[in-house]
Structure 1
Amino acid sequence: MSTSVESASTKPIPELTTAPAIAKPKKQPYPFWLGGVAATIAASITHPLDLTKVRLQASGDKRMIESIRKTLKTAGVRGLFDGISGTWMRQMSYSLCRFWAYDESKKYLGAGANSPAWKLALAGSMAGGIAGIVGNPAEIIMVRLQGDMAKAPEKRLNYKNCFDGLFRMTKEEGVSSLARGMGPNVLRAVLMNASQLASYDFFKAELLKTGYFEDNIICHFTASFGAGTVATTVCSPADVLKSRIMNASGPGSSSTMGAIRTALATEGPMFMFKGWVPAWTRLQPTTILIFLTLEQLKNVVDWTRSIKSE
């Protein structure tokens, strides 16, 4: 009896087999144009503030409210949307490119949601450099359309829309005019994307780490609010120079160093932050709207994909 028990106990116990783990399907990338659409929606809503910022930087207007009143008095409510076609062209070239290039740069650098700030900033800088070059012509047209009504009637360019402006500028000033102000524009784009896109990702990741936030609209709003303030301060000097150079149309008026020397001599170093309040007032809601809209568009894409997969 004992022998049978011992022999039974020495038999190898069969190993338990477990079902192989099912690999989680890799999430599809979002459409490359999603960022451009989100930016276009946001910029359309905040266009009057952007218009006022450009006119403050490029004209002799001193105060934001004074500039808005001047626009309303001379052109009515419709005047607050002068140059809106230029804004659309700019967003669907520059902004579309920067969001796409930022995602591609993060892939190239191996940056993820919890990557260090310097790596996100580097990805943003790479995206900004590319988008600044691609979007430069549309940037010039947008600035000119917005700043035209602030000039004396005899100095106005009177572009009908963004396409008319692009055609006339190329015809009257040559193809090389499309690169006017590219230096400060690319610099601004690098600073903008390194500060706005990277800081949004950084703030969002840090907020989620605290345990007090979930990946929802409250977290997106808070992260985008911080990103807007950082971006406004970092980009102000290059933004002022870009607006002044692009708005100028005379010969010899496109020198970056010439614009800096003139401004320093007449206004002092604080000229670099001229229009900071309207710039923040415009960029803050724009930044919030861009990221809230982008996150919602991503949710819509996820929802449509889930419907198709069922």
Structure 2
Amino acid sequence: MASTSGFLGGIAGNPADVLNVRMQNDMSLPAAQRRNYKNAVDGLFRMSREEGWRSLFRGVWPNSFRAVLMTASQLASYDGFKRLLLEKAGMEDGLTTHFTASFLAGFVATTVCSPVDVIKTRVMSAKEKEGLLVLLRRTIAHEGVGWMFRGWVPSFVRLGPHTIATFLFLEQHKKIYRHLKGVEHDDST
């Protein structure tokens, strides 16, 4: 279910992601190559008008694959880390355990997603359409394997707090739900 929701979310959010990448990248381009979108609405309309509606879905496959990897790696690693902390580290099921497990899950998700993030950003910011395999070959030839973790720290700074907040809120929601329904707490949930 995590993979499916990540995949569908990646598709639905792709137009905004393409626009975000382009707007952030615009100032690094020479003046003649800048797109100079006035705002997000202008950017979406101009992309559709000037490049066709398909431009809104440039990089949709790497983006959706990244969303699958992120969602699945966050959920699976959070549950695994939480279980380890409870069973092996002797921690109690509370905020400290939830924070630690979610921090580690954010670390895993960032590491798993990093190579796809780099490719996705390069595909979305490109002026010309280039095949994924051609892009990969060219990138590896020019940068070696270090390209896979370019931008890892900023990605973690973004994804780490997001993951922590998500799981802290989820655990508090579960606690409130159990209390309201009179359900006994079970460490495996």
Q: Secondary structure at the match of 2:158?
A: helix
- Alignment coverage as a number of residue pairs: 180
RMSD over equivalenced CA pairs, Å? 2.5
Displacement of 1:302 in angstroms is 4.8
Letter aligned with residue 136 of structure 2: I
Aligned to 1:272: 148
Partner deviation per Cα, 1:200-251 (whole Å, 9 max, x = no partner): 1332234334583333321211111110111111111111000011011x23
Unaligned runs of 5+ in 2: 182-189
Aligned to 2:186: none
Letter aligned with residue 138 of structure 1: A
Displacement of 1:163 in angstroms is 2.2
Is the Cα contact below 8 Å between 1:184 and 1:256 reproduced in 2? no
Distance, in Å, in 2 between the alignment partners of 1:130 and 1:189 is: 8
Distance, in Å, in 1 between the alignment partners of 2:171 and 2:37 is: 35
Residue correspondence of structure 1 range 113-192 to structure 2 within 5 A? 124-192=2-70
Displacement of 1:258 in angstroms is 2.0
Q: Which moved more, 1:284-293 or 1:194-203?
A: 284-293
Residue correspondence of structure 1 range 211-230 to structure 2 within 5 A? 212-230=90-108
Aligned to 1:202: 80
Q: Secondary structure at the match of 2:92?
A: coil
Unaligned runs of 5+ in 1: 1-104, 106-123
Aligned to 1:252: 129
Aligned to 2:116: 238
Distance, in Å, in 1 between the alignment partners of 2:137 and 2:171 is: 43
Distance, in Å, in 2 between the alignment partners of 1:184 and 1:170 is: 20
Aligned to 1:292: 168
Structure showing greater radius of gyration is 1
Letter aligned with residue 8 of structure 2: I
Distance, in Å, in 1 between the alignment partners of 2:176 and 2:15 is: 31
Distance, in Å, in 2 between the alignment partners of 1:206 and 1:283 is: 22
Letter aligned with residue 259 of structure 1: L
TM-score (norm 1): 0.52
